[in-house]
Each structure stands twice: as C-alpha cells, then as structure tokens.
Structure 1
C-alpha cells in the first residue's frame, strides 16, 4: 500500500511534541472560552468548536508519532476532567453542570481506546479515521441539523433530521476517503470502504443516546475500516 502520510518519526524531541499538542488544545479551548464569553445564546456552538478543534489533535499525534502511552495517559486525564466537569464548573460552556449527556466523557475515552488499539498495530491512520469521522461528521451534522433540519425523524425517542444525517454521511465519506486515499492510494476499495464506513457511522449516530455516539461512531468507524481493508485490499 502507498503511504503518503508518513509519521514525522523522531524529528523532534518528546517535550516539543507534547508542547505542540498542548498549545493546540489550549488554543482551541481559548477560542471556545472567548465565544462563550461573547455569546451565551447558543452553547452548542461553543461545544462544537471544542469538539471539532480538539478532535484534530489526533492528526498531530499521528504525524508527530506521539507514543501510545502518552496518548492513553492524556485520554485518562481528559476523561477524569470531563467527569468532574459534570459536577463542577471546570469546563463552562463546553459542559453544563448536571448535563444528562456523557458525550464529552465518551469523546475523551474514544481517543484512548483507538490509540491503544491502532498504535499497537502500527496503523494509527485508523485511529485518525475514527476520531475525525466523529469530529467532523458528527460535529457538522449537529450544527446543520439544528439550524437547517426541517425534515425530522425519530429513533428510540431521539429526534434527528434528514439534513443532519445527510451531512454526517457526506462528511464521513469525505474524511474516510481522504485518509484511505493517502494511505492505500486511488483504488476502488478506497471508495467502497469509505462509503460503507460513512453509512454505518451515520446509522450509529442516529441510534445512539446520551452522547454515546462519541464512543460508538469513532470505534465503529475505525474497526469497520480496518476489517474491510484487511479483507478487500491485497
């Protein structure tokens, strides 16, 4: 397979890699904080800024070849902080105290699980695929659905919109295609696998409740892509 997205291996010391990731996360949190201070009318915008912005840290982890132990540790710490934020105002604007959804917690957990699995297999692009499908697909689907979703449907009592679900499918397909195209090249399997991942990711997002889609979507997308590539690409 062709890999046009190689890791940057050891071109920089570990402390610099950590600093780059930390600066990016703090930069995104600062933007979310500023938006929250300026406009309290739509907290969902603040959450999605953090959701989409921080999700892209998986690309830094991949390209900088961050050690798996570091990624897993960061996931554990992030999970602990998000759990506390449901009781204490640690992440104002991103989590509301007493909020019923555990989406932010599942979001942090998904990083650790995917890094543990695919860093071990030396195929970090699948972790990136899963996280970015959730980050961009689910994030933009929520924003589009809330603002432009006029055609509603319900799954297990949860209301969705066809506009939001279509956005989820299209963005997930684009994300999956770009990653697989860079890793295995322009072959028919790239486009078919990306389509199947996009459809399954959309279905998982539609049926998930209480924010668990932040776990099921990335894990399901990454696992499906991995299994299909193993079976279809020779």
Structure 2
C-alpha cells in the first residue's frame, strides 16, 4: 500500500486513468445512443480505447494493486452487463461472447505478473497486440473482407487475418525496439509473437482470444527474450 507521501501522486495517477476510461465509455455510449452507431463499432471503440490505458499505467508507473483492482471491477461490470443493459457499447444482453470479461481478466493477470518483476513492457505488448490487432482485424474484415474462410464454424477473412498479423508485428517490434533496441532478437521475437497471436485469434470462439492472445503474446515475448 502507498505511504502517506505517495497518496497525492497516486490520486492524480488514478484520476488520469479513470478519466481516460470514462471518456472512452462516454464517447462509445454517445455514439451508440445518440447517433445509432452499430453496437459492434462502439464495442471496438471501447476495445481499442480502453486497451491503451496500459500505456498510461506504464508511463505513470501505476502500482500493480491499482491495475488489478481496476481489472476486477471491470470484469464484474462486464458480467453484469451480459444480463442488464447498463452499457450497450460494451455488451448486448444475451451476447454469447465473453470477450469483454476475458479482456479485463487478461489485463489483471498481465499487470500482476509483469509489474511485480519490473518488466511492464511485456504486459503492454500483450494487451496492445490484442487491443489494436484484434480491433483493427475485426473492422477491416467486416468492412473490406472479400475473401472469406471458415474455422470451427466461425467466418473469418484473409484481409482481417493479414491485418492481425501486420498490426501484431508492428506493435511488438515498436515496444521491443523502444526497450531493447534494434537487435536480431527483437525481430525474431516480434515475428514469432505476430504469428502466434494471429493463429490464436483465427481459431478462437466466444471471445476467448481476448484471454489467449494477450497472455500468449506477452509470455512468448518474455520467455523468448530470456532463452535466446
């Protein structure tokens, strides 16, 4: 727990994070309720917008317990929203996907893991691969996906899958280049993460990729850097 001298600074940090999350929800809800934007679009706005909070948490060095607490609260809200239409921009009542809940869980796990070992870049990598990779893959696939294929009953598009691969590569390499520089290992790890993340997103059902993609991307990048 923070000491008395840390509380003012911690209060500012929490306010900034909460303000960012609140702004994303307000924008998504406004588009959904006022301008009748499709629920899928508003969900992607929340998906991408909230995921970027990991960068704010990393930059501000938010304590791990704050991130974990926030993920628990978000998970509870997600579960409630499956039964009660409190936030249509997040979930529709009766929606079969548990993606929003898994999203909150993955953030809590990654913060709890990598914050405690002073390696927050891996938590950021895992979350942002999911945030931007899956988010943009869904948008591109739905809007411009002309070449469809089916996996375990789920329809995908090659355009969406390629977007997931490229965005995952860009995110992974950008974070690793920033932290460890332009080395051969940086690119090996980034390519491996992009391929695995794309594969997991392709074969996922019921939103489980919101758990498997960030956890696998972060852990793969971490262990490959340790081993290689």
Distance 1:138 1:170 in 2: 11
Quick one: which of 36, 51, 54 aligns to 2:50? 54
Unaligned runs of 5+ residues in structure 1 are: 1-9
C-alpha separation in 2, matches of 1:207 and 1:157 = 10
Structure 2 residue corresponding to 1:137, chosen from 111, 133, 137: 133
Distance 2:141 2:93 in 1: 24
Residue 41 (structure 1) shift: 5.1
Alignment of 1:50-199 (within 5 A): 50-199=46-195
Following TM superposition, by how much is the alpha carbon of 1:40 offset from its aligned partner in structure 2, in angstroms? 2.6
Is residue 31 of structure 1 aligned with residue 23 of structure 2?
A: no
Question: How far did 1:191 drift?
Answer: 1.1
Deviations 1:70-110 (A, max 9, x none): 11111111100100000011112321011110000001111
Partner residue in 2 for 1:202:
198
Deviation at 1:120, TM superposition (A): 1.3
Match in the other structure for 1:6: none
Change (3 A) 1:34 1:194: same
Aligned residues: 222
Structure 2 distance, partners of 1:129, 1:93, is: 25
Give the TM-score taking structure 2 as reference length.
0.95
TM-score normalised by the chain length of structure 1: 0.93
8 A Cα contact 2:78 2:90, kept in partner? no
1:19 aligns with 2:10: no
Counterpart secondary structure, 1:66: coil
- In structure 2, which of residues 218, 225, 228 is the aligned counterpart of residue 229 of structure 1? 225
Name the SS of the counterpart of 1:13 in structure 2.
Answer: helix
What is the CA-CA distance between 1:188 and the residue it aligns to?
A: 1.0
Question: CA, structure 1 residues 122+43, in 2 after alignment: closer, same or farther (shift >3 Å)?
Answer: same
Deviations 1:125-153 (A, max 9, x none): 00000000000000000000001111111
1:164-196 superposed Cα distances (whole Å, 9 cap, x missing partner): 000000000000000000000011111111011
